[in-house]
Amino acid sequence: MAKSFRIATFNVENLLHPGVFFAGRPNDRPYQPELYKEKIDWIVRILKEGNVDLVGLQELFSETALKDIAEQAGFPHSYAPDLLNGANIATREDGKQEARGPFVGLLSKFPIVDRKSIVDFPGETKGIEIEAGESTTEVKKLPIIRFLRPVIQANVQLNSDVIATVFVAHLKSKNPQFLDSEDGRRNDPIVKAAGKTRSLIIRAAESVALRKMVVDATQNNNQPVLLFGDLNDDLPAVTTEIIVGDEPYRFAKPEDKKIEWDRLLYSVHDLEEQESYRNVSYTHIFNGRYELLDHIFVSQEFFHRNPESIAVVRSTRIFNDHLQDERRVVNPDRGLSSRSDHGIPVTEIEWR
């Protein structure tokens, strides 16, 4: 058995095979074959240089593109049900093809023994209740009951003795969600603020639903959990904290702490920072702000301070040399890119 394995999360930014338009995006042209090949080559090069064994992907628009990566990078197992057999691609009235999306996917050198795509929020997370007025008896439900982009949940056979539950997620972006009635007023500062608030509410609701899925997968068992995601929020953000859970209270009873630890997730970026003298973790640059939006989380089975852990996070490298601050570039690139606008975290986990 290998001494370690490597995992990654990779937002491939608008990946679609040549000749197909993006649905609902009239200003975006299809990939040309040369640009597409250059982008696939770059993605494969990153995965090979990182020696990645298991990767969650975001912003996929094409099963063809996923298969090209899998074949060239040496991943025998793949899963992206929303792209299966071109299910997201339709023919327009003008005869040209267009792709809905984006969607998430999973590539693995390990067998995927069980898998599903989840779009509906689980159980009681459908329609979070809030007090709608001054009276506590006036309660309303938020009409948010589905993920905008389906989440993948899979069981992956890491070795002969260990099966891990793996989640791949891509939550709502920070971009404003405008109403049809707001067309023509999108530059109004209050309209824009309201749009960002809607996006935040959606992302928060998605975080609660994802937290429910994590709790169900982690508690009362010893099966490790891995979560790969472009969560569109930084590590200290409330929405991110919702997903991973809270550290137990310092003075809580040991038995209560054990319950909390059982359903807590740990950021590989936090673990890396604990071992380093400098924090340079960022995976996205927007308006001069260096942000960590792309996350890998592990359960206590991979946490080095857990005496019963079966493996430990050893290191995390972020491939982000291709990112640039567009505010400091004279002629920033526009349109489709041969790279990605996200960095790629790659984490090595060593077996005990």
Residues with Cβ < 8 Å from 241, sequence gap 6 or more? Answer: none
Residue 126 has pLDDT above 80, yes or no: yes
φ, ψ for residue 236 (rounded to 5)?
Answer: -80, 0
Model pTM score: 0.94
**Residue 98 belongs to domain spanning:** 4-351
- Least confident range of 32-36, 130-134, 243-247, 346-350: 130-134
Mean pLDDT of the 102-129 span: 96
What does the DSSP 8-state code read for residue 37?
Answer: H
pLDDT for residue 21:
97
Query: Residue 99 belongs to a domain with what CATH number?
Result: 3.60.10.10
Q: How many domains does the chain contain in total?
A: 1
**How do residues 209-229 score in pLDDT, each as one tens digit?**
999 999 999 998 999 999 999
**How do residues 88-103 score in pLDDT, each as one tens digit?**
999 999 999 999 999 9
If we measure between CA atoms, which residue out of 337, 335, 338 comes closest to residue 25? 335
Mean pLDDT of the 182-200 span: 93
Cα–Cα distance measured from residue 204 to residue 125, given in angstroms and rounded to the nearest whole number:
11
- Region for 51 from its dihedrals, namely left if φ exceeds 0, alpha if ψ lies in -120 to 50, beta otherwise: left
